[in-house]
Amino acid sequence: MAVELTPVEPTPVAHDVSRASTHPDVIVIGAGFAGLSAAVRLTKRGARVLVLEARSRLGGRATAFPDRDTGELVDNGQHILMGCYTETFGFLRDIGAENNVRLEPQLAVTMIDRAGRKTRLACPTLPAPLHLVAGVLEWDALSWRDRWSMLGMATPLKNARRELEGSPLKAASMDETVENWLIRNGQTPRLRELLWDPLALAALNQMPNQAAAPLFARVLAEMFSDDPRAAAIALPTKPLHLMYAEPAREFIERHGGTVRTGATAKIGLNAGRDAVAGVKVGGETWTAGHVISSVPWFALAELFDEEPPALHGVIDRARRTGSSPIVTVNLWFDRRVLDEPFVGLPGRAMQWAFDKRLVVGETASHLSLVSSGAAEILAETNEALIRRAHEELLDALPPVRDAKLVRATVVREPRATFSITPGQPARPPTRTELPGFLLAGDWIDTGLPATIESAVRSGHRAAECCIE
Ligand SMILES: Cc1cc2nc3c(=O)[nH]c(=O)nc-3n(C[C@H](O)[C@H](O)[C@H](O)COP(=O)(O)OP(=O)(O)OC[C@H]3O[C@@H](n4cnc5c(N)ncnc54)[C@H](O)[C@@H]3O)c2cc1C
């Protein structure tokens, strides 16, 4: 049954705040990108929403915390957005946070290869995929043979675009890896190392020889659409929870909803175990027409004391879904060491280095080095990871030797994203067999890898299901 709603007015209206916390229309469990975007969409449509978040801070896998020594708000890992994150930008506009990210005019990245050679790939503002082709043809990091090999991707990219538009044609097969797909389409080792592998690692968080190709084809189809800005990179200009999560909370509460942190939710079932009886946090229980779970795949089973038979298949698949880690090493120097917001370090364990000046301010000398698909280094000690990150940075940027490393920290996210190796269990749809219970989260079947955009699309979808 759909919720009866009155859309929110353009100016804030005086809602009965207590009703959202006692008689919500919809309960959203989890306050990451998925849960908050669902709650904001519902709030915009006039629903009274109660958001329950287990942790003491908002943001889930995209959050920040104060550094113990410097007090600086440090992200749990650098996040980048792409111009093609259309629903994410819509969400940020809804909550008045669109200025908390800075979108580049087009795809442009500086790369330092394993020999220390620094070059720049800059795609001109031409329609896609011409801008990428033109950018690669101009890129002096590559031999002419490498540059021309790019043309082998023209047909697969066209097919990926068609697939996105609904054609039954498949750009890549389910059982091939990104690496196999690129080799099959004639991409040289150098072009893969400098362009495709860093792109795939950033987008999929899994090694190209492990990740399934169709999701990469989908990412490329979204990036290389008619709008040249779709492939451009956007960087947050605030610590992650301030960038979107706190503005979302403010929006929801201003319009009569409630956001509770430190609230681990459990779902109670009726006697027949075929309907939700209520959502509990400690001794409190709420009922609502709809409950949206936006918890990650690894937390779904724990939502229930008793497993509802209607969700047996979904919970079983969620349990069997693998995870892929990200390791971030934060390095503080006694002076500025990078003269641009980020550089790619292809072929190294730490594949990107970000200068946090954009977030922390001009006086900062804090770099975040990121290792995606980091399964091989996850178990290393903090000291070893810091040494590795520092040495790789010095190797790529010898002038950094003049700067003194004054502090370093490590952030491990062992379950940063769900695994997308071929053969992983199927991802679930938004609607479930349990009446009134909906799923959101980056791992829902959006067709995208585990990204902010997947989370937001899933959240919007779940909200629309409550409203329809
Ligand atoms: C280090 C790192 C770097 C990344 N980089 C990028 C990037 O550059 N670009 C990009 O697009 N994506 C990136 N991602 C992926 C992106 O962060 C995720 O896809 C996205 O944040 C997932 O959002 P979500 O809302 O689906 O899940 P989550 O953020 O995991 O939110 C789920 C929330 O549910 C809460 N919860 C769980 N159980 C309960 C319960 N019982 N009761 C109440 N609450 C509960 C959790 O505490 C959590 O806050 C990165 C991820 C990591 C970890």
Q: Is the pLDDT of residue 21 over 90?
A: no
Q: Is the pLDDT of residue 13 over 50?
A: no
Q: Which residues lie with the beta carbon below 6 Å from any ligand 1 atom?
A: 29-35, 52-55, 60-62, 76-77, 79-80, 264-265, 294-296, 299, 303, 326, 328, 413, 416-417, 441-442, 450-452, 455
Instruction: Identify the residue whose C-alpha is closest to ligand 1 atom 49.
Output: 60
For the chain, counts of helices (H) and of strands (E): 16, 20
The closest alpha carbon to 74, from 85, 89, 63, belongs to 63
365-395 pLDDT, tens digit per residue, is 889 999 999 999 999 999 999 999 999 999 9
Domain ranges across the chain:
17-62+239-321+426-467, 119-231, 324-416
What is the pLDDT at residue 16? 47
Contact 23, 15 (CB under 8 A): no
Residue with tokens 């955009």: 453
The answer to whether domain 17-62+239-321+426-467 has CATH 3.30.565.10 is: no
Query: For residue 454, which atom of ligand 1 is closest to its CA?
Result: 19
What is the pLDDT at residue 19? 65
Under the banding of pLDDT at 50, 70 and 90, the label for residue 10 is very low
Query: For residue 30, which atom of ligand 1 is closest to its CA?
Result: 34
Long-range interactions of 376-385: CB distance < 8 A, separation 24+: 376/349, 377/327, 377/349, 378/325, 378/327, 378/412, 378/414, 382/409, 382/410, 385/327, 385/329, 385/410
74-104 pLDDT, tens digit per residue, is 999 999 999 999 999 999 999 999 999 999 9
Ligand 1 centroid, distance to 374 Cα (angstroms): 17
- Distance, CA of 76 to CA of 150 (rounded, Å): 35
- In this structure, what DSSP letter does residue 428 have? P
- Distance, CA of 24 to CA of 49 (rounded, Å): 5
- Distance, CA of 40 to CA of 88 (rounded, Å): 12
246-275 pLDDT, tens digit per residue, is 999 999 999 999 999 999 999 999 999 999
Contact 46, 8 (CB under 8 A): yes
Ligand 1 centroid, distance to 63 Cα (angstroms): 8
Under the banding of pLDDT at 50, 70 and 90, the label for residue 132 is confident
324-416, which class in CATH?
A: alpha beta
Instruction: Identify the residue whose C-alpha is closest to ligand 1 atom 14.
Output: 451
What is the pLDDT at residue 241? 94
Contact 373, 205 (CB under 8 A): yes
**Strands, E, within 54-208: which ranges?**
64-66, 73-75, 81-82, 101-103, 108-112, 118-122
Question: Which mutation among 57, 79, 267 tests ligand 1's pocket best, with the greatest number of atoms within 8 A of CB?
Answer: 79
Instruction: Identify the residue whose C-alpha is closest to ligand 1 atom 4.
Output: 79
Question: Which mutation among 78, 295, 420 tests ligand 1's pocket best, with the greatest number of atoms within 8 A of CB?
Answer: 295
151-189 pLDDT, tens digit per residue, is 999 999 999 999 999 999 899 998 999 999 999 999 999
What is the pLDDT at residue 1? 43
Quote the crossing angle between the two packed helices 33-44 and 246-254, to the nearest 10°.
30
